[in-house]
Amino acid sequence: MKRLSLALVATTAFAFSTASQAQDSAAYPPLNGGTSVSNPASHYVFKDTGARGINPKTGIQVSNVWGDVTKGAHGAFFRFDPGFVSPVHTHTYDYYAVVIKGTLQNYQPGQTPENLGPGSYWYQRGKQSHTTACVSNEPCEIYIVQAAQFDAQIPPKPE
């Protein structure tokens, strides 16, 4: 139990320390120092990820805050088109998400979806099947922190 508690404290400390050192570059400042950064929301430029929902007219855009979502540890904003519903999918690595705008749902197969508005949080375990949906009439936005690159896989359907 003590090891589990220490692991949770270490994980939480990593998530908060890296998120608080946000910057717009390929690599965030070392945990033992670096320059403080303050960026207004208008600073961030969103790029289409190419990911599409069940309705192919809906997708996801991303803006790196620190690090690079395609290469390793990062903090990033993700924006979902209104009505976006992902197919059931997994990610290789865990991530932590906070809802900034809109109303999202993030749930495992068989779970009842719960609406998550601004200020809501979820932890997504790696390799765990789930669906993510933007259920508001406005775009949805989350901020995620992840210790490795972001990816997604659609598991094969059982026969």
Query: Region 54-66: what's the mean pLDDT?
Result: 96
Q: 72 is in which domain, residue-wise?
A: 2-24+42-146
Q: What's the total number of domains in the chain? A: 1
Is residue 31 assigned to a domain? Answer: no
Is residue 98 assigned to a domain? Answer: yes
Model confidence pLDDT, tens digit, residues 37-56: 888 999 999 999 999 999 99
Is residue 152 assigned to a domain? Answer: no
* CATH code, domain with 138: 2.60.120.10
* Residue 153 confidence (pLDDT) above 60: yes
CB count, 10 Å around CB of 17? 11
